[in-house]
Amino acid sequence: MAELLDGKLLSTKIKEDLKLKAAEFEAKYCRKITLAVILVGENPASCVYVKNKIKAAEFIGIKSLSFSLPENTEEKDVEDLINNLARDKSVDGILVQLPLPKHLDEEKILALIPPEKDVDGFTAENVGNATLFKDCVNSCTPAGIMYMLKSINVPLSGKHAVIIGRSNIVGKPIALMLLKENCTVTVCHSKTVDLKSITKQADILVVAMGKAKFVTSDMVKDGAIVIDVGINRTETGLCGDVDFETVKDKASYITPVPGGVGPMTIAMLMYNAYTCALRRENV
Ligand code: NAD
């Protein structure tokens, strides 16, 4: 029976620590850490994520500037807003909640965020530095996964890590982070042939595909560490990409959904806002 990797508990500890650090920052620099959050449209999942991010910021003592723009906002207006926030010396971080409505050019919009205010770590400069294993703002979800893995003190070096999914926000950056820790990394995706034969070799299995309960126990090696990134809304509520009930009996550690990777993503976002603020004060 697997041990639970409790992201809710771990993220609460991180946020409590950040609360102290944010208060120290405010006392030293006579200003609050400030995070601008931009939401375009009313995608229900995005609205929930933004609400949770603002709630976490409030708890820590980070000031959030919330911009909710209508679905039909023109590209130029989003660009103007980001350019203004980029120039605004009181703003430490800029977050654009994805996905954006289809008529907006995501790549062009994200490129307007200065790398030093890029709390999501999505800009080309931060992604490039991550690839070179250089200092950068790390993408939040993979950073949260690495934090969880390190919290259990299991050596990562030499482990075979298998990732299902090759998205820019999860699959690719977690592959790099695990590689940096000397794992042997295999990245699988929708065109992978005989997925099960690969996942069965995984000491660490990270699943980020967006398919409810897709990974079943026959796809998992005995004693594997299983990280479920998926968030799927079904008739019976939220579930991950892993069939938790059966896989938990085979894995050594497993993340629940909800309460696993999700809260860690938000905690890492808050950590990024704090480190961006420190760097902007030349610390
Ligand atoms: P995505 O939706 O951009 O891409 C899905 C990936 O899964 C693709 O690379 C695709 O090749 C792969 N895939 C799909 N079907 C497959 C199959 N049958 N076999 C092998 N690979 C397959 O991915 P994303 O944006 O990384 O999101 C993945 C999931 O993670 C979603 O459920 C999303 O909601 C969730 N997510 C959660 C968090 C969090 O904080 N917990 C953060 C980001 C994403």
How confident is the model over 234-272, as pLDDT tens digits?
A: 999 999 999 999 999 999 999 999 999 999 999 999 999
Residue 283 has pLDDT above 90, yes or no: no
- Which residue minimizes the CA distance to atom 39 of ligand 1? 262
Share of the chain above pLDDT 70, in %: 100
Residue 226 is encoded by which pair of tokens? 């299983």
pTM of the entire structure? Answer: 0.97
- Determine the residue type at 46: S
H-run or E-run covering 50: helix 44-60
pLDDT tens column, 45-56:
999 999 999 999
Return the ligand 1 atom nearest residue 140 CA.
40
Return the ligand 1 atom nearest residue 231 CA.
32
Q: For 109-127, what is the mean pLDDT?
A: 97
* C-alpha span between 230 and 236 (Å, rounded): 15
Q: Are 137 and 119 in contact (CB under 8 A)?
A: yes
Active-site annotation, residues: 53, 97, 120
Q: Which residues, 6 or more positions from 94, have their beta carbon under 8 angstroms from its beta carbon?
A: 35, 36, 38, 82, 85, 86, 113, 114, 117, 118, 119
Q: Check if 189 has its Cβ closer than 6 Å to any atom of ligand 1.
A: yes
Q: Check if 190 has its Cβ closer than 6 Å to any atom of ligand 1.
A: yes
Q: What is the pLDDT of residue 1?
A: 87
Expressed in angstroms and rounded, the spacing between residue 90 Cα and the centre of ligand 1 is 35
Question: Mean pLDDT over all residues of the chain?
Answer: 97
Expressed in angstroms and rounded, the spacing between residue 147 Cα and the centre of ligand 1 is 20
Angle (nearest 5°) at CA 185 between 179 and 188: 135
Residue that has been written with the tokens 């990024």 in this structure: 272
Q: Check if 195 has its Cβ closer than 6 Å to any atom of ligand 1.
A: yes
Q: Which residues, 6 or more positions from 136, have their beta carbon under 8 angstroms from its beta carbon?
A: 121, 125, 126, 127, 129, 130
- Which residue minimizes the CA distance to atom 1 of ligand 1? 167
Q: What is the pLDDT of residue 238?
A: 94
User: Please, how many CA atoms are within 13 Å of residue 211, restricted to the half-sphere of its CB?
Assistant: 9
Band (pLDDT 50/70/90 cuts) for residue 92 is very high
Q: What is the 3-state secondary structure (H, E, C) of 243-259?
A: CHHHHCCCCCEECCCCC
Compute the CA torsion angle 145, 181, 120, 91 (nearest 10 deg): 120
* C-alpha span between 45 and 202 (Å, rounded): 31
Q: For 100-116, what is the mean pLDDT?
A: 97
* C-alpha span between 257 and 250 (Å, rounded): 17
Expressed in angstroms and rounded, the spacing between residue 79 Cα and the centre of ligand 1 is 28
Ligand 1 pocket test, pick from 194, 229, 265, 268 with the greatest ligand atom count within 8 Å of Cβ, gives: 229
